[in-house]
Structure 1
Amino acid sequence: MLAVLVCAVLLSFGAVPAAAPVQAAAYGAPRFTDPMALYDAATARVALTAANGSVSYSVASAEGGLLRQGTATVSSGAGSIDLRTLGPGYFKLTVRNTAGSASTDLGIVARLATTPTTKSPFGTTAHPGIHWQLNHAAASRALGLSTTRVDWRWERMATFISGFYRWDTVGEAEIKRLRALGIRPSLVIAYHGLCDGALTPSSTTCINEYAKFARATAQRFGTTVDYAVYNEWNAATNTGSCGRSADCYMKLLKPAAAAIRAAAPGARVLGPALGAVDDWWAVDGPAYTWFQRFVQLGGAGHVDLVTIHNYSVTTAPDGKGERAVRNAKALLAAAGISKPVVMEEAGYPTVADGLPEYLQAAFMARDAAAVLTAGAATYMPYGLVDNYNDRAHAESNFGLFRHEAVNGGRLVPKQAAVTQAVLSRLLAGAVSRGEEKLGTGTRSMMWRMADGRTLRIVWTTDKTRTLEIGGSTGVAATDWLGRPVPTLLTGGKRQMVIGGIPAFVTTPAGTTARVF
Structure 2
Amino acid sequence: MLTPGGPDGVTLRQTVSVAPLTTYSFGVDHFASLESNTAISIAVGGNALTRLEAAQTAAEWEHASWEYTTGTDEYSLELSINAAGDTGSARIDNVSLNVAGGENLIANASFEDYAADAQITNESLIMQSGAASIGIAARVQSAQWNVRDVSGADVESGSIEFQNGLGLLPLGELRQGYYSVEFASVEGNLPVQTLTFMVLDEAALAEPDERFGVGTHLDRDYYAGSELPAEQIGFTSARTDMFWSKTELNQGEYSFDPTLDGRIAAFAARGIELLPISAYANKYYDGGVAVSSPEGIAGYANYSNAIATHYGATAIELFNEYNHEPFNKGACGRTGSCYQQLLAPTADKIHSESPGTKVVGPANARQDDPFLTELYQAGGLQYLDAVSFHPYEEGYNSGPEFLIANLEQANARIREFNDGKPKPIWLTELGWSTSLVTESQQAENLIRAEAIALAANVERFFWYDLVNDGLDPVEAENSFGLLHQRSEVLPAFQPKPAAMAQAMMIRKLTGKAFSERDTLSETSYSFAFGEGAESTRVAWATSPVRVSYETQSPVVMTSYLGAVTELKPKKGKVTVDLGLQPVFLDGDLSKGRVVK
Report Cα offsets for 1:343-388 as digits up to 9, x if no partner: 111111111xx31100011111111111111121122211111112
Q: Distance in 1 between matches of 2:323 and 2:440?
A: 31
Q: How many residues align?
A: 490
Alignment partner, residue 182 of structure 1 = 271
Change (3 A) 1:182 1:163: same
In 2 relative to 1, CA 28–411 (structure 1 residues): closer, same or farther, beyond 3 Å?
closer
Q: Is the 8 A contact 1:132 1:170 kept in 2?
A: no
* Alignment pair present for 1:344 and 2:428: yes
Aligned to 1:410: 492
Aligned residue number for residue 69 of structure 1? 157
Amino acid at match of 2:352: A
Q: Please give the alpha-carbon distance, in whole angstroms, between the structure 2 residues aligned to 1:442 and 1:207.
A: 48
TM-score (structure 1 length as normaliser):
0.88
Give the CA deviation at 1:302. Answer: 1.3
Corresponding residue for 1:89?
Answer: 177
Out of 531, 540, 545, which is 1:465 matched to? 545
**1:439-467 CA deviation, whole Å, 9 max, x = no partner?**
33211111116x952211111122x2223
Which position in structure 2 is the counterpart of 1:515?
A: 594
Tell me how far apart the structure 2 counterparts of residues 79 and 113 of structure 1 sit (CA, whole Å): 27
Which SS does the other structure have where 1:200 is aligned? coil
Distance 1:385 1:240 in 2: 31
* Distance in 2 separating the partners of 1:370 and 1:179: 29
1:83-136 per-position Cα deviation (integer Å, ceiling 9, x unaligned): 22211221111122233142211112220222642x242111110112455223
Counterpart selection for 1:107 from 198, 218, 240: 198
**Per the alignment, in what secondary structure is the counterpart of residue 64 of structure 1?**
coil
Identity, in percent, stands at: 24
Quick check: 1:399 aligned with 2:471? Answer: no
CA contact (8 A) 1:192 1:199 kept: yes
Does residue 388 (structure 1) correspond to residue 440 (structure 2)? The answer is no
In structure 2, the CA distance between the partners of 1:298 and 1:71, relative to structure 1 (3 Å rule), is same
Cα offset, 1:471, TM superposition = 3.1
- Residues 407, 302 of structure 1: CA spacing in aligned structure 2 closer, same or farther, 3 A cutoff? farther
Partner residue in 1 for 2:377: 296
Q: What does 1:362-377 align with in structure 2 at a 5 Å threshold? A: 362-377=444-459
User: Does residue 1:326 correspond to 2:415, yes or no?
Assistant: no
* Cross-structure match for 2:260: 171
Counterpart for residue 360 of structure 2:
270
Q: C-alpha root-mean-square deviation of aligned residues, in Å? A: 2.7
1:34-72, Cα deviation, whole Å (9 max, x unpaired): 243211223222222234643321001112222211123
Greater strand share, structure number:
2
> CA contact under 8 A between 2:321 and 2:363: conserved in structure 1?
yes
State the AA in 1 paired with 2:546: T
Q: Which runs of 4+ in 1 moved over 6 A?
A: 10-14, 25-28
Deviation (angstroms), 1:206: 2.0
Paired with 2:207 and 2:143, the residues of 1 have a C-alpha distance of: 37
Question: Matches of 2:242 and 2:116 in 1, distance apart?
Answer: 42
Residues 202-238 of structure 1, C-alpha deviations (whole Å, 9 max, x = no match) = 322222222221222223223x442111111001211
For 1:21-40, list aligned pairs within 5 A. Answer: 21-24=82-85, 29-40=117-128
Q: Which moves more between the two structures, 467-476 or 237-246?
A: 467-476
Q: CA deviation at 1:320?
A: 2.2
State which of 62, 73, 80 in structure 1 corresponds to 2:168: 80
Opposite residue 498 of structure 1, the aligned amino acid is L
CA-to-aligned-CA distance 1:285-335 (integer Å, 9 cap, x gap) = xx0111111111111211212212112554433442233322222122122
Asked if the contact 2:529–2:536 (Cα under 8 Å) also holds between the matched residues in 1, the reply is yes
Counterpart in the other structure of 1:427:
509
Contact 2:518 2:592 in 1 (8 A): no
- Measure the CA separation in 2 of the matches of 1:262 and 1:15: 43
In 1, Cα distance between equivalents of 2:86 and 2:382: 66
Q: Which residue of 2 aligns with 1:284?
A: none
Give how far 1:407 is off: 6.0
User: Relative to 1, partners in 2 of residues 1:254 and 1:406: Cα closer, same or farther, differing over 3 Å?
Assistant: farther
Question: Which residue of structure 2 aligns with residue 6 of structure 1?
Answer: none
Kindly tell me: are residues 384 and 264 of structure 1, through their superposed partners in 2, closer, same or farther at Cα, counting changes over 3 Å?
same
Distance 1:470 1:249, change over 3 A: same
Letter in 2 for 1:196: D
Find the counterpart in structure 2 of residue 7 from structure 1: none
Shift of 1:181: 2.0
- Residue of structure 1 equivalent to 2:49: none
Contact 1:24 1:52 in 2 (8 A): no
Amino acid at match of 2:428: E
Q: Which amino acid aligns with 1:213?
A: Y
- 1:422 is displaced (CA, Å) by 0.4
1:497 aligns with 2:577: yes
More helix by share: 1
What are the ranges of 5 or more consecutive residues in structure 2 without an aligned counterpart? 1-16, 29-41, 43-80, 88-114
Equivalent of residue 484 in structure 1, options 546, 553, 564: 564
What is the CA–CA distance in structure 2 between the aligned matches of 1:377 and 1:321, rounded to whole Å?
15
Higher RCO (Cα < 8 Å, 6 or more apart): 1
TM-score (norm 2): 0.77
SS for the counterpart of 2:321 is coil
SS of match in other structure, 1:81: strand
User: Aligned to 2:441, what secondary structure does the other structure show?
Assistant: helix
Q: Counterparts of 2:533 and 2:375 in 1: how far apart (Å)?
A: 40
Instruction: Quote the Cα distance in structure 2 between the aligned partners of 1:154 and 1:74.
Output: 51
**Aligned counterparts of 1:380 and 1:288: Cα–Cα separation in 2:** 20
Partner of 1:142: 232
Letter in structure 1 aligned against 2:84: Q
Out of 297, 303, 315, the position equivalent to 1:213 is 303
Residues in 2 aligned to 1:95 and 1:452: alpha-carbon distance in whole angstroms: 44
- Cα distance in 1 for partners of 2:410, 2:286 equals 32
The corresponding residue for 2:536 is: 455
| 2:339 equivalent in structure 1 | 249
Contact 1:143 1:420 in 2 (8 A): yes
Q: Quick one: distance in 1 between partners of 2:218 and 2:425? A: 26
Say if 1:329 and 1:418 are closer, same or farther in 2 by CA, change over 3 A.
Answer: same
